[in-house]
Amino acid sequence: VLVVVCAVLGYRHWSSRRTQHQASVHAAVIAQSEQLITTRQYSLAEQVLQNYLATNPPVRYRRDVMTQLTTAYSSNGDERTTLSWYKKIAQLDGNARLDTVVGLAYTYQSLKDAQNAIKYFRQAITLEQQTNDPDKASVIATYQYLIKQMGGTV
């Protein structure tokens, strides 16, 4: 029994240290990619983030990395790849997170795909209405304005 207890405690200690290590690596990757994006080294940021994703990090860290990739690709003017990553995030999220829906809307707008941009701005309005954001009315008005600019109705 003592051997089993020691094995369990040893595993918990190892598992806890592993989780701390994963969190540290994740934080370092995000910090490094933010610095690279800030200094307009988009391709390097993309490479750092892609390499980290290739290590198959825990799901709880993937979303942040994928979101950071959308920032890098969008900043680099690669809206098609940005869209691809937003779609992957939407699959991970179940398409229910406001920031993902807004990212999809703005990316479709950048690609001059008014139909999809309007669709996602409408979803963003619905999700924004459910928030406690003190600027909710202003944000919704902006989305409505953008919808109208693209020929849609609110």
Tens-digit pLDDT profile for residues 41-56: 999 999 999 999 999 9
Amino acid present at 53: L
CA–CA dist 45, 66 (Å, integer)? 12
Helices (H), 77-135: 79-93, 98-110, 114-129
Is there a contact between 148 and 154 (Cβ–Cβ < 8 Å)?
A: yes
Tens-digit pLDDT profile for residues 117-150: 999 999 999 999 999 999 999 999 999 999 999 9
CA–CA dist 19, 36 (Å, integer)? 26
* Of 17, 84, 29, the residue nearest 55 (C-alpha): 29
Average pLDDT over residues 89-104: 89
Average pLDDT over residues 52-76: 94
Task: Show Cβ contacts of residue 123 under 8 Å, excluding neighbours closer than 6 positions.
Answer: 101, 105
In the chain, the largest separation of any two C-alpha atoms, in whole Å, equals 72
pTM of structure: 0.83
% of the chain surpassing 70 pLDDT:
89
pLDDT at 10: 53
Is there a contact between 65 and 52 (Cβ–Cβ < 8 Å)?
A: yes
Q: Within a 10 A sphere around the Cβ of 108, how many other Cβ atoms?
A: 22
- Higher pLDDT among residues 7 and 6, named by residue: 7
Is there a contact between 69 and 50 (Cβ–Cβ < 8 Å)?
A: yes
Q: If pLDDT is split at 50, 70 and 90, which confidence band does 12 have?
A: low
pLDDT at 123: 96
